[in-house]
Every structure is written in C-alpha cells, then in structure tokens.
C-alpha cells in the first residue's frame, strides 16, 4: 500500500487558488446551503435514494434475497471533448483534465457510501493500491499511475485504473472515463470503447465538443439509442447565438432536443464558480435565442445529472415487478403459515377437544406407518419407511447370529467335549443336551438386547418426527409429548432387556 500526501508547496498552491473564490463560496453557503452537493448526488438523493433504501430494508428483512444494481455510466467521446471535466462537475472531485493531458487508460470511478465522516480515496492498478490522503492530489496520483502503466506521450492502453471513493451519504455507483477517440489511435480506442459499451445495463454518455465537427459524432454500440445520452460540452467556446448552430441543427439535421448542453469547468475554477458561470451563460443564451422556459431541462450540468438519474431510475423500475412478485410470494407463504396456526383456545373443554383430535390424528398416522406400511405422508423420506428399515435391522441381526459361532473351524468339537464331560453323570437335571444349549444361548445373549435397543431407538426417532409434524402449532404440548415418547421407549427397552428385573440368560 503506497501513500500519496501533499507537500507544503502543493498545500500553499491549493490555498492560493481558492482565495479568489472566497466571496462566491460565502455567498453560496449563505443563500443555498446545499449548493456544495455535487449535482449527480443531489438528483440521486431526490429520486433514487428512497427506492434504494426501501430495497435495502427488504433485504434486511429477508423478504428478497438480492438487491438491485445501479447502471454504470460509461463516458465516451473524442479526445479533448471535455469528458473528464464533465465527470468532475457531476461528482465534485478533481481529475486530470488540463490542456496538455488526456485520458489514456480506462478510469473506473467507484463511489461507495460509508458511515464515517472522513472521505477515503484509493487508487488501484496492476495489483497495486495507492491511498490518497488529500482530494486535491487525485489528479497527480492518476497521472503517475498512467505514466507507470503506458509510459509517456499519448500512447493508449487497456489497463484500467480504479479510483475508489468512500464518503458519507453518496450513492453507490460506478462511472467509467474512457480514452478519447483520435485519428492516431482510433482503432485501438474503438476496441476499448466497444468493450465497455457492450453490457446492456450500462448507460452511455456520448460527449462531443461544441467546437468540433459533429457530423462525425461517433455512434455508440446502443443502436436503438435507448441507453445513450448525448452531451454537447464547451458551449462557452462558441458565440452565444451559435450554440445550437454549433451542434449542427440545420447543417447536419441533428435533433437538438436529444442532447444536453453544458459548460465545462475551466483551469482553476472551483466547482461552484463553474456552475455560476454556466448558469450565467445559459441565461444569456435564453435571452439571445428567445428559448422557452421548458428548454431549461436540456441546459447545464444539473440538467445532465437529472437526466442520468432518470435513465438509471428507468433501469431500476424494470426490476421492480420481479421484486413485487417475490414480496407477494413471501406474503402468501406467511398467510398460509398463519392460517395453519391453531385458534386461540378459550376454555378447558376446547383445549381437551383439540388435544384429543391431535392424539387421534397422531395415532392414525402411526398405525398407517407401523402396522399397515402406508408411507403416503412421507413418500420421499426413506428414513420414515418403518417396515423396510425394520427388515434391514433384522437381517443384520441374523448375519451377526450366524457369525457369532464359526462352525467350520471346530465342527462338533465342543459337542464331543460336553458328552465326554458328562460320562458317569446320571442325574436327569444335567443332561448333555441342556448343558450344550445353555452355553450356546449365553454366547449370543447380548445380540438380541442390542437389536432391541436399535429398534427402539429408531422407533423413537419415527415417533418424534410424526409428533413434530402434528404438534408444530402447539410448541408447549410438543415438548411434553416428546418427553413422554422418550419415557415410553425407555420403559420398552427395559422390559425387553430385564423383564421383572431377572437375568434372562438360560439356566437349565
């Protein structure tokens, strides 16, 4: 992580440049406290922020699983058309846009809202990160990174720089400033431009200078022009009466109402002073051309910001029907769950009647599953197919019984020994057969106990599952019934293993 900080000279230069505009800034603060809010942020707060906050609330409530993405703004145009200066005016930060500089690599500006009062700037490129601690040093950092990526001169490259800006109360959106198209690099630049214009959820801001020949105005990849907005920049560099003529309204048959006309910030002007100068310019334009008041919607940076937000809003509105559908699906599911909840029991007889009804339903389900082998309620859950699983347990028990005595290894050896040991004993209570049988039974004594324990445990699992499904609307009753089921199963295992407390091993 590199750190770019200002020198004393640069700080002094910043202060000197701002001195001339103190009076204007003071006037703006006194008469319009919100004037320091960049136009794009102001329009966003008015039109999109309420929708975005509502969507975020739905996400937090888990009504919907994913939010909405705001369309990226891709700024394209010829070299020296004023693209970077236009972005400056929209979002209120300084970018390299002096006469001798130009955008030579894609600059991706990511705006992110964060809750902290301190604004953060981070420039990323080629797996490097440069933290910028002063907003006035953004241009210097971008120029240095550009030099490192593509070298000196006017060479163009397709290695993007990403400027991350985190600030309180700003919209989460992305603006991409692309290298300007020029005859020296038109093929390379067109390739870069097409790459960023191609995504259909990107808004294309097509910029041209009022001083240029707009008959060669480059068309974007948006052939239907549904997501393209044309901008005529540098309108102050032509005569007041020729602003519309400069865009070729008569000569090139271009509809002036499809474009926004702006004045770019010049040299060391502050953003506020540039907006005042732009407002003055278009007021004169109104007087000279006799334009109706309705045409103010196509003049100035604020009008451009408003139009961009309207286009973003149109994209977002297309997503709302799907969101509304998900909300309705969620409401229907909740209503269904609500309808399945039991009525409020107002008396002991009502509670007893409900209890007996649930017990009857539970008994019927268990009878179907355990006795009749009917698994309709749990057709897809093999673990609940009791009879099939019981047969598997008995098969395993049978295999263990056969493996408990290896007949092939000592065939009749043990029997012969028992007969030999019984020679000379003539008591009817101690025949060889009884002795041998007792020994065999005692060898497998633990196996039936284990299978009984396994069957009872599985039976308890099945019963508890059925209990949960029948008593889900009665959580307090469910807890008691689960405990009762466990006690019954424990008693059953105890009876199988010990009966009346006696050892069931064979004594004969």
Range of the domain at 358: 348-404+444-498
CA distance 84 to 180: 10
Tell me: do 385 and 308 sit in the same domain: no
- Residue 22 maps to a domain: yes
Point out which residues pair with 76 in neighbouring strands. Answer: 206
Give burial (CB, 10 Å; 0-12/13-18/19+) of 505. Answer: exposed
| Residue 24 · residue 272 · CB < 8 Å | yes
Total number of domains constituting the chain: 2
CATH number for the domain that contains residue 252: 3.40.50.300
User: What is the predicted pLDDT for the residue at 4?
Assistant: 56
The verdict on 305 and 157 lying in the same domain is yes
Is residue 143 located within the same domain as residue 21? Answer: yes
- Give the residue from 185, 266, 184, 255 showing the smallest Cα distance to 217: 255
**Is 77 contained in some domain?**
yes
For residue 408, the Cα-to-chain-centroid distance in whole angstroms is 67
- Tell me, yes or no, whether 471 and 384 share the same domain: yes
Alpha-carbon distances of 284 from 217, 237, 260, 281, rounded to whole Å: 27, 14, 17, 5
Asked if 10 and 93 sit in the same domain, the reply is yes
> What does the pLDDT read at residue 164?
93
Residue closest to 163 by CA, chosen among 201, 120, 225, 107: 107
Same-domain status, 133 and 207? yes
- How many Cα atoms are found within 13 Å in the side-chain-facing hemisphere of 392? 9
Q: Are residues 313 and 364 in the same domain?
A: no
In a domain, residue 308? The reply is: yes
**Do residues 202 and 71 make contact, with C-beta atoms less than 8 angstroms apart?**
yes
Domain contains 486: yes
Q: Is residue 429 part of a domain?
A: no
Cα–Cα distance for residue pair 185/501, rounded to 1 Å:
98
Whether residues 72 and 197 fall in one domain: yes
Tens digit of pLDDT per residue, the chain (508 long)? 555 554 433 333 334 444 444 433 333 333 343 445 888 888 888 888 888 888 888 778 777 777 777 888 999 888 888 888 888 888 888 887 665 557 888 999 999 888 888 889 999 998 888 898 888 888 889 889 988 888 887 788 888 899 999 988 888 889 999 888 777 667 777 888 888 887 777 888 888 887 776 655 656 555 666 788 888 888 877 765 555 554 444 333 445 546 788 888 877 777 778 888 888 877 776 665 666 666 667 788 888 888 888 888 888 888 788 888 888 887 888 888 777 666 666 677 877 777 787 788 888 888 888 888 787 778 778 888 888 888 888 888 888 877 776 555 565 666 667 666 666 555 555 566 676 677 777 777 778 888 888 888 888 888 888 888 777 777 767 777 778 888 888 887 777 666 544 454 544 4
Is 476 part of a structural domain of the chain? yes
Of 322, 356, 372, the position where a domain reaches its end is: 322
Three-state secondary-structure class, residue 7? coil
Q: Do 127 and 171 fall into the same domain?
A: yes
For the chain, helix, strand, coil in percent to 5 are: 55, 10, 35
Euclidean distance between CA atoms 119 and 129, whole angstroms: 17
Q: Is residue 341 part of a domain?
A: no
Of 322, 356, 376, which closes a domain?
A: 322
Are 253 and 388 contained in the same domain?
no
2-4 and 202-209 beta bridge pairing: unpaired
Do 360 and 311 belong together in one domain?
no
Residue that finishes a domain, picked among 276, 307, 322 = 322
Does 164 map to a domain? Answer: yes
138 and 190 share one domain? yes
Cβ-based burial of 136 (10 A; exposed 0-12, middle 13-18, buried ≥19) = middle
- Rounded distance, CA 374 to CA 463, Å? 15
């Amino acid at each position: 992580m590199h750190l770019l900080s200002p020198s004393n000279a640069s700080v002094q230069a910043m202060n000197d440049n701002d001195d001339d505009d103190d009076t204007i800034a003071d006037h703006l603060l006194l008469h319009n406290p919100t004037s320091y809010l960049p136009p794009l942020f102001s329009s966003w707060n008015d039109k999109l922020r309420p929708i975005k906050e509502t969507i975020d609330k739905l996400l937090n409530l888990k009504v919907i699983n994913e939010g909405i993405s705001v369309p990226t703004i891709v700024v394209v145009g010829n070299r020296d058309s004023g693209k970077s200066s236009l972005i400056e005016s929209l979002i209120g930060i300084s970018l390299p846009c002096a006469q001798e500089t130009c955008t030579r690599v894609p600059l991706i500006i990511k705006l992110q809202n964060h809750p902290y009062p301190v604004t953060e700037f981070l420039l990323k490129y080629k797996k490097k990160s440069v933290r910028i601690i002063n907003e006035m040093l953004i241009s210097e950092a971008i120029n240095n990174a550009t030099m490192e990526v593509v070298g000196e001169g006017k060479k163009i490259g397709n290695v993007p720089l990403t400027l991350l800006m985190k600030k309180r109360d700003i919209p989460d959106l992305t603006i991409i400033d692309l290298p300007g198209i020029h005859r020296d690099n038109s093929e390379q630049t067109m390739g870069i431009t097409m790459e960023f214009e191609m995504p259909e959820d990107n808004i294309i801001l097509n910029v041209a200078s009022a001083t240029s020949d707009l008959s060669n105005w480059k068309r974007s990849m948006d052939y239907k022009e549904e997501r393209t907005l044309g901008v005529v920049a540098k309108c102050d560099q032509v005569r007041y009466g020729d602003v519309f003529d400069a865009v070729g309204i008569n000569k090139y048959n271009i509809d002036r109402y499809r474009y926004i006309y702006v004045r770019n910030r010049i040299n060391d002007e502050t953003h506020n002073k540039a907006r005042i100068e732009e407002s003055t310019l278009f007021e004169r334009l109104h007087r000279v051309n006799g334009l109706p008041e309705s045409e103010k919607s196509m003049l100035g940076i604020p009008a451009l910001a408003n139009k961009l937000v309207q286009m973003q809003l149109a994209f977002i509105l297309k997503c709302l029907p799907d969101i509304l559908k998900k909300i309705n699906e969620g409401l229907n599911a909740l209503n269904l769950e609500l309808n399945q909840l039991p009525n409020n029991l107002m008396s002991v007889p009502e509670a007893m009647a409900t209890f007996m009804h649930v017990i009857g339903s539970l008994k019927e389900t268990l009878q179907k599953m355990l006795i009749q082998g009917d698994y309709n309620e749990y057709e897809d859950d093999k673990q609940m197919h009791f009879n099939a699983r019981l047969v598997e347990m008995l098969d395993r028990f049978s295999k263990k019984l056969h493996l408990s005595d290896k007949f092939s290894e000592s065939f009749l050896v043990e029997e012969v020994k028992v007969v030999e040991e019984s020679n000379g004993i003539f008591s009817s209570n101690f025949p060889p057969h009884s002795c041998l049988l007792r020994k065999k039974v005692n060898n497998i004594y633990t196996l039936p106990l284990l299978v009984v324990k396994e069957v009872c445990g599985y039976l308890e699992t099945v019963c508890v599952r059925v209990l949960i499904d029948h008593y889900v609307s009665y959580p307090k009753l469910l807890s008691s019934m689960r405990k009762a089921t466990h006690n019954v199963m424990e008693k059953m295992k105890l009876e199988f293993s010990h009966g009346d407390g006696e050892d069931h091993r064979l004594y004969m």
